[in-house]
Structure 1
Amino acid sequence: MGRKRSIDRNALLDAAEAVVRRDGAARVTLNAVAAEAGVSKSTVLYNCKNKEALLLALIERRIAAEENTANEIRAALDAAPDSGIRTRIALARREMSEDDRAVILSLSATIAQNNELAAPIRAHYARVLDEILQTSTTSDDAFIAFLAIEGLHCLERFEILQLDPDRRRRTLDDITRLARRGLTRSESEGGARCAV
């Protein structure tokens, strides 16, 4: 039986992620992705012109997935004060799977060597930070809380620091308290109290 002539883009990206997990992003080849997906190399080329385009599509899909989850959290917050940082804290409380960690770690090494692959990540973080600052009662506290969350993510993603679940929860509770400081300050100025 021959290889399929076409493939859904998400199925192709699933195959690419499987190759990244197995071989690392630096070793991804269009042939390896084609073999994993059960399609011809020309089918992969039709969907993604080259390896860089394939990796870029993977990065953009991961960003879109995170933004979709953030949108769901934000909708549940119903435009509450500090919704930007509260959304980031809620995202940080979610456990990252080992598969996700492996893909992100491998992609990070490749992104560090290719400025074009970093462009959508920079744009994503610019949007996130803008939302945090625009929705914050006190932007300084929210900004510091954001940096703390991202620092924790970095240490975890690169497997430099792995907190036990209780310590991780307490750390995120501390970051939440930091973000709440702005709410507490606004209360004394007549603002409404809102839980993070």
Structure 2
Amino acid sequence: MSRNRRICPNDVLDAAERVVLKSGSSGLSIDAVAKEAGISKSQVVYDHKTKSGLLEALVDRQLQRDGDFVKESVASCSKTQHPELFGRIKAAATGWEEAERAVCMAVSASLSSDDRLQELMRQWQQNDLNAIKAGPKPRAALVAYMALSGFSCMELFGFHKWSDEDREALLSDIRKIYETFPDE
């Protein structure tokens, strides 16, 4: 009698990322993930119930990774004028991996029809906005954060790939928005 292969939840999510990288968001399915992970479809269904549940878990994991990275960046900017803002700017300096872009595209393709994903993204964004507005010069920080968001979205959605030189110059300009913004 054969034994079922044991697989941890992160292995399934790794497989889901690989599926999205290979086939895009339209290729993400319970069956495709099961095949990629080398497990039965029922194992994926047991853990995630639906394609939406699988995508939600993938987004949760990506947001957790991003949050951890931002926390590290914020901590390393603790001596700056605005650690929350400057930490996020520092985090953006590294760019994004292909898997992060693929997950972002899968999320954007599903957002219009998935209330739970919309809520996850709203909460993530609200947490960022709260952190940005809690520091000194909140209006200046918000304007700089909006510039950073636009910069990041252009690359995450694949509209433009910044060269290292352009990335460094633009992020420096975003810092200057904060530093030179008139006091409130």
Question: 1:192 is matched with which residue?
Answer: none
Q: Which protein has the larger Cα radius of gyration, Structure 1 or Structure 2?
A: 1
Structure 1 length normalisation: TM-score? 0.85
Aligned residues: 184
* Post-superposition offset of 1:118: 1.8
Alpha-carbon distance in 1 for matches of 2:63, 2:44: 21
1:189 aligns with: none
Query: Could you tell which deviates more after superposition, 48-57 or 92-101?
Result: 92-101
Query: How big is the shift at 1:2?
Result: 6.0
Q: Could you say which residue in structure 2 is the equivalent of 1:67? A: 67
- Shifted more, 4-13 versus 14-23: the winner is 4-13
What aligned pairs does 1:1-196 form with structure 2 within 5 A after superposition? 4-78=4-78, 81-135=81-135, 137-181=136-180
Query: Hey, what's the Cα distance between the residues in 1 that align with 2:2 and 2:119?
Result: 38
Name the stretch that deviates more: 104-113 or 141-150: 104-113
| Alignment check: 8 A CA contact 1:3 1:39 kept | no
Structure 1 range deviating more: 159-168 or 170-179:
159-168
Moved over 4 A (4+): none
Deviations along 1:101-122, one digit per CA (max 9) or x if unpaired, are 2332233222233232121111
* One-letter identity of the residue aligned with 1:152: F
Deviation per CA, 1:45-64, whole angstroms, max 9, x where unpaired?
11111111000000010000
SS at match of 1:177: helix
Distance 1:49 1:55 in 2: 11
Whole-Å separation in 2 of the counterparts to 1:141 and 1:24: 37
> Using a 3 Å threshold, how does the CA distance of structure 1 residues 126 and 56 change in structure 2: closer, same or farther?
same
Identify unmatched segments of 5+ residues in structure 1: 187-196
Q: Report the aligned-residue RMSD.
A: 2.2
Contact 2:76/2:87 (<8 A) preserved: no
Q: Is the 8 A contact 1:31 1:41 kept in 2?
A: yes
Query: Shift of residue 185 of structure 1?
Result: 5.2
Name the TM-score, length of structure 2 as normaliser: 0.90
Name structure 2 gaps, 5 residues minimum.
Answer: none
Q: Residue deviations 1:142-174, cap 9 Å, x none?
A: 001110011011111222233322122111100
